Amino acid sequence: MIKTKLSENERAIIIGLRGNADYHTFMMENGMTIGSIFQITYSPKFLGLQNIKVGNKLLSLRLAEFEKIEWLRI
Amino acid sequence: MAADMSFTKIHLVGAPNSGKSSLFNQLTGLNQKVGNYGGVTVEVKTGKFGKIEVVDLPGLRSMHSGNPDEQITRKFLLDTSNSNEAFIYVANGSLLEESLMLFSEIADLQKPILFVVNFKDELEKNKIVVDRAKFERLLGCPVILINSISGEGIVELQNHLTEGKFLIPNAFCRSTFDTFSEGVYQNGYLKHLIKPTSHNARELDFQKRKKIISLFMKTAVQKEENTPLVDLSRKWDKVLIHPVFGVLIFLSVMYLTFQAVFAVSSYPMDWIDGGFSAVSQWIHGFEVANWLKSLLADAIVPGIAGVLIFIPQIAILFLLLGILEHTGYLSRISLISDSFLKRFGLSGKSIIPLMSNWACAIPAIMSTRMLSNPRERMALIFASPLMTCSARLPVYAILISVLIPYDDSKFFGAQGLALLALYLLGVAATLIIAWIFTRRTSVQENAFWSMELPVYRWPNWRSIFINVYQKTKSFIIEAGKIIFAISILLWVLSTNSPKGSDFIDQQHAEIVAKGGHYASVSHESIAMEYSYMGYIGKFIEPAIKPLGYDWKIGIALITSFAAREVFVGTLSTIYSIESEEDKTIVEKLKAEVNRGTGEPRFGLATVISLLLFYVFALQCMSTLAIVRKETGSWRYAIYQFLLFFAMAYISALAAFQILG
């Protein structure tokens, strides 16, 4: 079975961003483009957010934004 | 490249949470002021370091960012008119690689700059070693490692400032946009920033910068894979944003904050109140003209007391908000509140402007500029004045004290709970109005949301105390001027009558002759009733009588349209003039009797009615002015004023009619 979700502490590389130019700009302002590596951090369900670590930066994204990222587990 | 050595103005620039403000406080100490930039209302702090003017610019994420605050910083950076200005770029040591992206964009503007790596201790804790000499060669400008919290490295930085050691850095990627014609390079980067060429060009530029930065980091910075400080923050997050513990801690922090504001500040407030009453009493014993004695004891001293009495509450509130912000916990509060605020058309980022309202609506409305979503920003500007500002705090504090006696045997007292309930009512009203606004408005909405979570760190006490000092000073000067002037005006209107003193003597004799509770009515009370102020109060009395207010409260309502806190000062002045005894303001309000019924004037129904009036009414001219400035028209300010006044009147009416 292929895992379609990342668990806490798992790392992935961004291989695509499924969104318009504004979404790409938004991700770029957060330091994320194709080739960026991120790690999943603790994100309790009630927040409705996905917390990640990009470089040394701790970042929180809404699930709708996070789900537009195409990633590859590393 | 060498730059001019004589700089008269230095701008601090960097990303949010890079410690710019702490560094600014280290450099300027108390020698600073807060002003608005060039006709707009973005708060820009300026201070002096020797003869050099230091400017703390709003945080910038990218030269392409579009928030109003960031636009101001961008404008400063793109301004080429002044040659004796230089920049200090402040990089967060924990996020050195990330900080280089913004630096690369600024470096390409080719302005004299100095690179400061802040939070040196965090570099060490994260096992990051910077080869300073190599880093300086790569960037092409001086690099200084500091800790703006402990002050480490500040002396070296000060020496650089004094000696004007700024250099024009190496350009990172100008060639992406530059053109070469007739043997000369044309700077295309500046043109691109002013009018972006295309999204693809920007993405290519970003990737190119990222590669160069990665190379720089490999060359000049040694770091390990694991980052202990970030990992420690992640461990703390498991507790502080936990669905059960996180929410419980959040609610406890909020509750303790309000208890501290009320319980701790009650002691110095009593000292100030009691002290000024004693001064008034002392002045009454002077052998000088009666009018001068009255002016000093009944107008000037109560007027000064009416300003100074709020200092403890304002200082404690800012101290606690400062601690929450400096430790990084405020960002976690944003995270916890996002899913809740989302239901009202807002986001977790709104929590900071929302909480800033607890201090004052003016900086809170100004701070909405950090929101990238125009709809969210307008909703917050519109609804924000319903949050409880520090000007409401003295009104609440006095009225609650009249209603509920202070019990110093309990830390979790009923007064604190009543105050918390009023704050929560303000929050609920704000959210409901914001929700209605976001559904009714045609203002454009941004689809994306993200939040950077700073690592937890020990608060910078020096910076917090400077901020507390600045905010308190600003309150004393700004609000104090109005309160003091109104106190004098009230005294003039209250001590002069169009009817003359014989008429007042006759009226007093007739009332006392009625006997019963009329027998104790003082001469001063009758003099006030027939003064100019008494006539103004009586003119509006029919409109406020259904709310349980008499003409004296009416006077306080009118004067507090200038600023809410004037309400307490007005009552203080009115009752100082009326009463020969030198009681505290709370004692005077408790002793005030409704002449018609013989019941206390400030009974349960009237106090609740007044509290509700002040929860909703937009009685602050400065707030209306700032809304006009931020929205660009009077439309929103007028809507707000009328809507909130209607809410205040109806709720106060309902409360008095039900409880009275």
Q: Which residue of A lies nearest to B237 if distances are taken between CA atoms? A: A42
Is the pLDDT at B4 greater than 50, yes or no?
Answer: no
Confidence of residue B443 (pLDDT cuts 50, 70, 90): low
Tell me whether residues B98 and A26 touch, CB distance under 8 A: no
Is the pLDDT at B431 greater than 90, yes or no?
Answer: yes
Tell me what the mean pLDDT of segment B551-564 comes to.
Answer: 79
Q: Which of B203, B238, B336 sits opposite A28 (nearest CB)?
A: B203
Confidence of residue B39 (pLDDT cuts 50, 70, 90): very low
Q: Find out whether B388 and B254 touch, Cβ atoms under 8 Å.
A: no
Is the pLDDT at B523 greater than 70, yes or no?
Answer: yes
Q: Specify the higher pLDDT residue, B541 or B479.
A: B541
Closest C-alpha to B371, from B354, B359, B387, B358:
B354
> Mean pLDDT across chain B, nearest whole number?
82
**Where does residue B514 rank: exposed (0-12), middle (13-18), buried (19+ CB within 10 A)?**
exposed
Q: Find out whether B320 and B260 touch, Cβ atoms under 8 Å.
A: yes
Q: Which residue of A lies nearest to B204 if distances are taken between CA atoms? A: A33
Number of Cβ pairs < 8 A linking chain A and chain B: 100
pLDDT of residue B185: 60
Q: Which of A33, A53, A55 sits opposite B206 (nearest CB)?
A: A33
Q: Is A35 on the interface with B (CB under 8 A)?
A: yes
Chain B: closest CA distance from residue A8 (Å) = 11
Is the pLDDT at B41 greater than 70, yes or no?
Answer: no
Note the pTM of the prediction, 2 decimals.
Answer: 0.73
Note the pLDDT tens digit of each residue in B449-498.
888 888 898 888 888 888 888 878 877 776 677 767 777 887 888 888 88
DSSP B263-314: HHHHHHHHHHHHHHHHHHHHHHT--S-HHHHHIIIIIIHHHHHHHHTTHHHH
* Helix ranges restricted to H, B169-227: 174-177, 188-194, 199-220
Is the pLDDT at B437 greater than 70, yes or no?
Answer: yes
Q: Specify the higher pLDDT residue, B194 or B271.
A: B271
Distance between CA B40 and CA B338 in Å, rounded?
29
Q: Among all chains, which residue has been given the structure tokens 């059960």?
A: B244
Return the residue in B198, B202, B232, B234 with the most chain A beta carbons within 10 A, the one to mutate for interface testing: B234
Confidence of residue B611 (pLDDT cuts 50, 70, 90): very high
pLDDT of residue B395: 87
Q: Which residues of A touch B452 (CB under 8 A)?
A: 30, 57-60
Tell me whether residues A58 and B233 touch, CB distance under 8 A: yes
Note the pLDDT tens digit of each residue in B275-333.
988 898 898 888 888 888 888 888 888 778 877 877 887 788 778 888 888 898 988 98
Residues 198-217 of B with CB under 8 A from A: 199, 202-203, 206-207, 210
pLDDT of residue B262: 65
Q: Is A30 on the interface with B (CB under 8 A)?
A: yes
Q: Which residues of A touch B61 (CB under 8 A)?
A: 29
Q: Angle B529-B530-B532 (CA atoms, 0-180°, nearest 5)? A: 100
Tell me whether residues B448 and A21 touch, CB distance under 8 A: no
pLDDT of residue B157: 92
Closest C-alpha to B124, from B157, B153, B87, B159:
B153
- Provide the strand spans (E) within A10-65: 11-17, 37-40, 49-54, 57-62
**If residue B233 lies in a helix (H) or strand (E), which one and from where to where?**
helix B228-240
Distance between CA B454 and CA B230 in Å, rounded?
9
Is the pLDDT at B540 greater than 50, yes or no?
Answer: yes
Q: Which residues of A touch B341 (CB under 8 A)?
A: none
CA distances from B615 to B354, B386, B498 (A): 15, 7, 36
pLDDT of residue B83: 73
Tell me what the mean pLDDT of segment B99-116 comes to.
Answer: 91
